[in-house]
C-alpha cells in the first residue's frame, strides 16, 4: 500500500537497493511499518505535527511578516545508518575536526601553512570570516571549534562526501533531540527490536565541553551561559531548548556587561561573574567595540575580556576562516599537512573561480554545476545549474566575473533519497546528514545527527528556509559480541 | 531572602512579571465583556450606552475614539477582544504574554509554556472565525484557559524568586483592574440619581460584582446589594481573591520574600511604598471615602500602584545599559505599557 508505487528512480536510496529490495538494516523497520493498521502512519504523522505546534517547536522565517513562526516539517520515516558505516564516519569526522582546529590555530599564530605555500596567503587575507583581531589569542585547551555541524551527503556512487564544515554557529541539534523524542511519543512500536543508538546524552556532553574550557583562574563550577540574539532569531527555539536541557542561563547581550575585562550578568541582586559563554551570535555582532560597531545585540568589551583570558567563548571567534568555501577545497591538504594522514572522508570536487582554468570550466558548464558564494549559508547565494533558467545563469556568470574569489562550483550531486510520507503514500526525497561534533578535552561525535530532507519533489535544497524538513536519524549499534546479528 | 543557586536575571524577572500581568489582564477583559453581554439583555436602555464604560474601564478611551468613533456592541467587542492595534485587547495581551513567556522558557515550566502557547493558538483561530452567537463561549474558554494557566503555574513551578515576581505581577494587575471596574461603574451610576435604588441600579451593581467573580461571595458575606457595602467588600476584604486589599497584601508578601528585608529596615524604595499602601488599606474608613469622593480615592490608589510599578522597575528590572536597549526596544522588548489612567 504505502510502498506499492515506490521507485528509487536511479538515485541511491537509503532504504532500498537498486533492484528495489529493502537493505538488510531497513528490513525490520519496513516489516513494522507494513504491519501497522491502514492509516495509522498517517495519523501518527498528523499527531506529530500537532505536537510540534503545541510545544512551540518553531523557527522564525526571515523576510516574512514580523513574528511568523513555522514548524520545521518532520517526517516519520527515519534514515538508518549501519553501524560499520557510522564507525567510519565517526573516525573521519574526528580526523577532520582535529586538522581544522590545528589549521585555525596556525592561522592566528605562526601561519606556517601559508609560509609553506600549501594555501595561498591571499585566500586567507580575503576570507570574509578571517578576523585579524584574533591573532595571538590562545583559547583554553587550544580549541577553536568546540561545536561543529558538518554536512554530509551521499552521492549516486554510494560514497559519502563532506559538503560543508559549518564551524561558526551551527544550528539544528535541538531538532535531532526533539525528533527522537517525538518518534518515541508518536510511534513507540517501531523502536522495538531495532537497537538505535541514543542521542539524548548530547546536552550533557555539550555542558561537559563548555565547563572544560573555563578560564584557568575559575574556581569551583564555572558559570556557563548561552548567549542568544533574542526571540526573533530563527534559531531561538534551539537556544532556549539547549539552555533548559543543560540547566544554564539563557542571556541576551543586554544582560551582560564588561567591567575591567571581566564579564558579568545583571541579576535582581546585582552583578554576577560569567566564566564561559556559548555564544549563538555571529562574530560580527558579538562585540560592537571589536567588530561591527552598529551591532546592538552584542556586548561591548567582550573580545578584550576574552583576550585577557577572563572568559571563554564557544565557538572561538575567528574560526569561520575555515568555513570559507575556498578554504574548504584545501581541507584534504590541511589534513595531510597537520596530521600526515590521508583524509578518511572525501571532499566534493570543487572548482575555484579565482583560478583562470577553473573559472573557464565553470562558466562553460553553468547548466551542469552548482555554484556557491564562498561565504553564504542557509541555501542562499546559490545556483543549482540543472534547475536554473538562462537568465539566472547569466546573472551568476556576471557575479563570478566581477568577484571570482567569492565563488566556487561543484558537480551537481545526486543526493541519496529516503522514503518520505507524501499525502498518503511514500515517495523518495533527497536528504543530507548533519552530525554534531564536540571538542573540549577530546573529540566526541554524536551518534546520529540531523537528517534534512528536501520536501519539494526533485529538489536538492534541504535548508529549512527553502522548504526543507527533517527526519530522525537512526544509527544502529554494532552487533553484540558473541551474538549472531 | 531566597538563596538561589542561580541568580535571577533582571530581564527575566521583568519578563516573568509582565507575562503574569498580561495573562491576568486578558482574563479580566474577557470577564468584563462576558458580564456586559449578559447584563444588556436585562436592560431597556440603548445598548451602546452599556458599552462605552468598558472602554473606559480598560483605560483606552482615546485610542478607541480614534479608531472607531461611536461605541457599539460590535466595535467595542472587536476592539477589546481581537484588535491587534489595541495594546490592551485580549489578543494583544495574550500575544505579549506569549512573547514574554518565550523569552523565559528556561525559567518557567514546560507545562506553563505549552499552556500559554495553546491559549495563543486558540485565540488566533477564534479571532479569524468568531461569530456573534459563539462569543460568550469563546470568552468563557479564554477565561478558563487563563485560570488553567494559574493552576499549572501553582502545580509545576518551584516557588522561587521568579515565581514571586510572577505572583507580584498578577496581584498588581488584579488590584488595578478591580479598582478600575469600581471606579467606572461608580462614576457612571452616581450622576443619574433617577435610577438609584431602582432594579436597574441593582442590576448594575450586581454586574460590577460579577465582573470580579464576586457576586456569590458578596451575597454570602454581606447579603443585600448596597453600594457602600460593595465598595467596602471590593476594597477592604482580606480574603476575597480580587479585593484590592487582598491583592496588595499578596503582592507585598511576595515582594518581602524577594527582598528578604526585615520589617523594620526596608532596603528598597518599592517595598517602602508597598508597605505604606498596605497600611493605608488596613485603616481605610469606607464611609469617609464615599463621602469625600470614591473616584478621587481610587484615582489616588492607582497612582500609588503605578508608583510601586515604576519603583520595581528601578529596583530590580533596570539594566545598566538601558540607554543601549532603548533603540532596540521595538525589536526585542515588548512594550510594557501600564494602562493609562481612566
- Tens digit of pLDDT per residue, chain B (342 long)? 444 567 899 999 999 999 999 999 999 999 888 887 777 776 665 555 677 877 877 678 888 888 888 888 888 888 999 999 899 999 999 999 999 999 999 899 999 999 999 999 999 888 887 666 788 888 999 999 999 999 999 999 999 999 999 999 999 999 999 998 888 776 555 544 455 556 667 777 888 888 888 888 888 888 887 888 888 999 999 999 999 999 999 999 999 999 998 888 899 999 999 999 999 999 998 888 888 888 889 999 999 999 999 999 999 998 765 543 433 333 333 333 333 333
ipTM strictly over 0.85? no
Residue among A230, A257, A272 minimizing CB distance to B321: A257
Instruction: Check CB contact under 8 Å for A55 and B114.
Output: yes
What digits encode the pLDDT tens for the residues B272-311?
A: 999 999 999 999 988 888 888 888 899 999 999 999 999 9
What SS3 class is residue A27? helix
Q: Distance between CA B264 and CA B251 in Å, rounded? A: 18
Instruction: Check CB contact under 8 Å for A244 and B105.
Output: yes
Instruction: Check CB contact under 8 Å for B321 and A254.
Output: yes
The values of phi and psi at residue A13, to 5°, are -100, 140
Residues A40 and A29: beta-carbon distance below 8 Å: no
Instruction: Check CB contact under 8 Å for B102 and A252.
Output: no
What digits encode the pLDDT tens for the residues A174-198?
A: 999 999 988 887 777 777 677 899 9
Residue among B110, B316, B325 minimizing CB distance to A254: B325
Chain B residues inside the 8 Å CB shell of A244:
105-106, 110
Residue among A244, A252, A266 minimizing CB distance to B106: A244
pTM of the model: 0.87
Question: What pLDDT sits at residue A294?
Answer: 84
Q: Distance between CA B27 and CA B127 in Å, rounded? A: 16
Question: What domains are defined for chain A?
Answer: 24-343+413-475 (no CATH), 349-411 (3.30.1490.270)
CB distance from B109 to chain A under 8 Å?
no
Instruction: Check CB contact under 8 Å for B7 and A232.
Output: no
Dihedral angle at the C-alpha atoms of A273, A277, A280, A286, nearest 10 degrees? 70
- Mutating which of B85, B106, B334 best tests the A interface, going by the most A Cβ atoms within 10 A? B106
The number of beta carbons lying within 10 Å of the beta carbon of residue A67 is 11
Minimal C-alpha gap between A167 and chain B (Å): 26
Instruction: Check CB contact under 8 Å for A54 and B114.
Output: yes
CB distance from B316 to chain A under 8 Å?
yes
CB distance from A251 to chain B under 8 Å?
yes
Q: What are the distances in angstroms from CA A354 to CA A127, B39, B217? A: 13, 78, 82
pLDDT per 10-residue tile (average), chain A, 485 residues: 86 94 90 84 87 80 59 91 96 98 97 96 93 95 97 95 95 93 78 84 97 90 95 89 94 95 94 96 91 87 95 96 95 98 97 95 95 78 90 94 94 95 92 97 96 91 81 89 47
Please state the domain extents for chain B: 9-157, 159-319
Residues in chain B: 342
Instruction: Check CB contact under 8 Å for A252 and B105.
Output: no
Q: List strands edge to edge, sheet with A276-279.
A: A249-252, A224-228, A276-279, A312-314
Contacts of A54 (CB under 8 A, 6+ apart): B114, B117, B118, B121
Chain B residues inside the 8 Å CB shell of A254:
11, 319, 321, 324-325, 328
Amino acid at each position: 500500500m504505502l510502498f506499492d508505487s515506490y521507485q528509487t528512480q536511479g538515485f541511491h536510496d537509503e532504504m532500498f537497493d537498486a533492484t528495489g529490495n529493502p537493505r538488510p538494516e531497513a528490513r525490520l523497520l519496513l516489516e513494522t511499518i507494513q504491519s501497522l493498521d491502514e492509516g495509522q502512519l498517517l495519523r501518527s504523522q498528523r499527531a506529530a505535527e500537532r505536537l510540534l505546534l503545541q510545544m512551540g517547536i518553531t523557527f522564525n522565517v526571515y523576510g516574512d511578516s514580523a513574528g511568523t513562526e513555522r514548524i520545521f516539517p518532520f517526517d516519520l520515516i527515519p534514515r538508518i545508518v549501519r553501524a560499520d558505516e557510522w564507525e567510519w564516519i565517526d573516525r573521519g569526522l574526528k580526523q577532520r575536526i582535529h586538522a581544522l582546529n590545528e589549521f585555525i590555530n596556525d592561522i592566528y599564530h605562526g601561519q606556517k601553512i601559508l609560509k609553506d605555500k600549501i594555501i595561498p596567503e591571499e585566500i586567507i587575507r580575503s576570507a570574509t570570516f578571517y578576523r585579524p583581531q584574533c591573532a595571538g589569542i590562545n583559547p583554553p585547551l587550544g580549541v577553536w571549534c568546540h561545536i561543529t555541524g558538518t554536512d554530509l551527503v551521499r552521492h549516486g556512487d554510494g560514497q559519502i562526501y563532506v559538503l560543508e564544515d559549518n564551524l561558526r554557529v551551527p544550528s539544528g541539534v535541538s531538532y535531532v533531540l526533539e525528533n527522537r523524542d517525538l518518534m518515541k511519543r508518536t510511534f513507540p512500536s517501531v523502536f522495538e527490536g531495532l537497537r538505535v543508538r541514543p542521542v539524548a546524552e548530547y546536552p550533557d556532553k555539550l555542558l561537559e565541553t563548555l565547563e572544560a574550557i573555563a578560564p584557568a583562574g575559575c574556581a569551583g563550577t564555572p558559570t556557563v551561559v548561552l548567549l542568544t540574539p533574542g526571540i526573533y532569531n530563527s534559531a531561538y527555539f534551539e537556544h532556549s531548548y539547549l539552555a533548559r536541557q543543560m540547566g544554564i542561563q539563557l542571556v541576551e547581550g543586554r544582560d551582560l556587561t564588561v567591567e575591567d575585562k571581566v564579564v558579568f550578568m545583571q541579576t535582581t541582586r546585582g552583578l554576577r561573574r560569567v566564566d564561559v559563554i556559548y555564544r549563538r551570535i555571529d562574530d560580527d555582532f558579538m562585540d560592537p567595540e571589536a567588530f561591527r560597531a552598529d551591532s546592538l545585540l552584542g556586548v561591548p568589551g567582550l573580545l578584550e575580556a576574552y583576550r585577557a583570558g577572563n572568559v571563554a567563548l564557544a565557538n572561538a571567534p575567528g574560526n569561520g576562516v575555515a568555513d570559507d568555501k575556498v578554504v574548504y577545497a584545501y581541507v584534504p591538504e590541511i589534513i595531510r599537512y597537520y596530521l600526515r594522514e590521508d583524509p578518511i572522508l572525501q571532499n566534493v570536487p570543487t572548482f575555484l573561480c579565482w583560478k583562470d582554468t577553473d573559472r573557464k570550466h565553470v562558466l562553460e558548464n553553468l547548466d551542469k554545476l552548482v555554484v556557491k558564494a564562498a561565504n553564504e549559508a542557509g541555501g542562499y547565494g546559490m545556483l543549482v545549474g540543472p534547475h536554473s533558467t538562462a537568465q539566472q545563469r547569466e546573472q551568476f556568470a556576471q557575479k563570478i566575473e566581477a568577484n571570482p574569489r567569492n565563488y566556487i562550483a561543484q558537480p551537481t550531486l545526486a543526493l541519496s533519497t529516503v522514503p518520505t510520507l507524501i499525502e498518503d503514500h511514500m515517495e523518495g526525497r533527497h536528504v543530507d546528514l548533519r552530525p554534531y561534533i564536540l571538542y573540549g578535552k577530546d573529540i566526541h561525535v554524536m551518534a546520529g545527527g540531523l537528517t534534512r530532507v528536501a520536501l519539494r519533489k526533485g529538489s536538492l535544497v534541504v535548508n529549512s528556509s527553502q522548504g526543507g524538513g527533517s527526519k530522525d536519524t537512526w544509527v544502529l549499534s554494532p552487533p553484540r559480541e558473541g551474538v549472531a546479528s | 531572602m531566597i538563596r538561589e543557586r542561580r541568580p535571577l536575571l533582571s530581564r527575566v524577572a521583568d519578563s516573568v512579571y509582565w507575562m503574569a500581568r498580561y495573562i491576568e489582564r486578558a482574563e479580566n477583559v474577557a470577564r468584563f465583556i462576558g458580564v456586559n453581554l449578559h447584563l444588556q439583555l436585562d436592560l431597556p436602555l440603548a445598548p451602546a450606552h452599556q458599552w462605552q464604560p468598558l472602554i473606559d474601564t480598560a483605560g483606552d478611551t482615546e485610542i478607541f475614539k480614534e479608531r472607531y468613533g461611536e461605541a457599539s456592541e460590535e466595535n467595542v467587542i472587536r476592539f477589546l477582544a481581537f484588535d491587534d492595534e489595541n495594546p490592551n485587547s485580549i489578543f494583544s495581551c495574550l500575544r505579549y504574554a506569549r512573547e514574554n513567556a518565550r523569552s523565559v522558557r528556561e525559567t518557567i515550566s514546560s507545562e506553563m509554556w505549552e499552556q500559554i502557547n495553546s491559549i495563543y493558538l486558540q485565540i488566533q483561530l477564534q479571532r479569524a472565525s468568531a461569530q456573534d452567537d459563539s462569543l460568550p463561549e469563546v470568552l468563557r474558554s479564554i477565561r478558563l484557559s487563563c485560570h488553567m494557566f494559574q493552576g499549572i503555574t501553582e502545580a509545576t513551578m518551584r516557588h522561587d524568586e521568579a515565581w514571586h515576581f510572577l505572583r507580584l505581577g498578577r496581584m498588581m494587575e488584579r488590584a488595578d483592574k478591580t479598582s478600575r471596574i469600581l471606579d467606572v461603574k461608580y462614576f457612571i451610576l452616581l450622576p443619574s440619581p433617577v435610577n438609584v435604588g431602582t432594579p436597574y441600579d441593582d442590576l448594575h451593581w450586581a454586574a460590577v460584582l460579577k465582573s470580579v467573580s464576586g457576586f456569590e461571595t458578596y451575597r454570602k458575606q454581606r447579603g443585600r446589594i448596597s453600594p457602600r457595602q460593595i465598595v467596602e467588600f471590593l476594597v477592604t476584604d482580606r480574603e476575597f481573591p480580587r479585593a484590592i486589599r487582598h491583592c496588595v497584601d499578596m503582592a507585598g508578601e511576595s515582594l518581602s520574600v524577594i527582598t528578604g528585608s526585615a520589617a523594620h529596615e526596608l532596603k528598597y524604595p518599592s517595598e517602602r511604598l508597598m508597605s505604606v499602601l498596605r497600611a493605608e488599606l488596613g485603616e481605610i474608613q469606607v464611609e469617609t471615602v464615599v463621602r469625600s469622593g470614591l473616584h478621587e480615592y481610587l484615582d489616588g490608589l492607582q497612582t500609588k500602584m503605578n508608583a510601586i510599578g515604576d519603583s520595581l522597575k528601578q529596583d530590580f528590572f533596570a539594566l545598566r545599559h538601558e540607554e543601549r536597549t532603548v533603540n532596540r526596544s521595538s525589536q526585542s522588548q515588548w512594550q510594557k505599557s501600564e494602562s493609562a489612567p481612566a
